[in-house]
Amino acid sequence: MVILGIDPALTVSGYGAIKVTDNKVALIEAGIITTSAKSSITERLDKIYRGILKLITDINPDCLVLEKLYAHYRHPATAFILGQARGVICLACATKKIPLIEYGATRVKKAIVGKGLASKNQVARMVADILSLKEIPRYTDMTDALALALTHSYVKRAKI
């Protein structure tokens, strides 16, 4: 099974793809899709959309995993902006007929680190360890995306 995890954002969206064979997990690819604050919102969303479509075409995942939307009530604009980025990712899934799975942040942290209130740094270190990476990726957006993919692999194996 090939799982593509996406950590959506308007400026830097992280992605990570893993392949699960039997009880082994291997990294396929990880990276980021960036947009410029100088570009219009439509240009930025189009770049994310096209980037996700290209990833789906290149990687051919069995499913795509996103983090459930969460926003603090003091920052409603953040939820709106994140919702737009998530929307084009959901549209890409629908266009390519890829199943979309969502997990909450605390569920992912619990699956990867063992506690739902783990820090981004703890998640990054565990992802690097699980995937036998020589170093922790520079962007936590990438490790967050890989954590989403790994969480889904754990959930799928637990149901078998």
Q: What is the pLDDT of residues 6-15, one digit of tens each?
A: 999 999 999 9
CATH superfamily of 2-159: Ribonuclease H-like superfamily/Ribonuclease H (3.30.420.10)
Break the chain into its structural domains and give their ranges. 2-159
Burial class (CB in 10 A: 0-12, 13-18, 19+), 141: buried
pLDDT digits (tens, 9 = 90+) for 95-138: 999 999 999 999 999 999 999 999 999 999 999 999 999 999 99
pLDDT digits (tens, 9 = 90+) for 15-62: 999 999 988 999 999 999 999 999 999 999 999 999 999 999 999 999
Does 159 have pLDDT greater than 70?
Answer: no
The predicted pLDDT at position 160 comes to 44
The CA distance from 77 to 57, in Å, is 32
The CA distance from 69 to 8, in Å, is 10
Whether this prediction's pTM lies above 0.85 is answered by: yes
Between strands 2-7 and 100-103, the pairing is unpaired
- 14 within 8 A of 32, measured Cβ to Cβ: yes
Catalytic residues: 7, 67, 141
Residue scoring higher pLDDT (11 or 81):
11
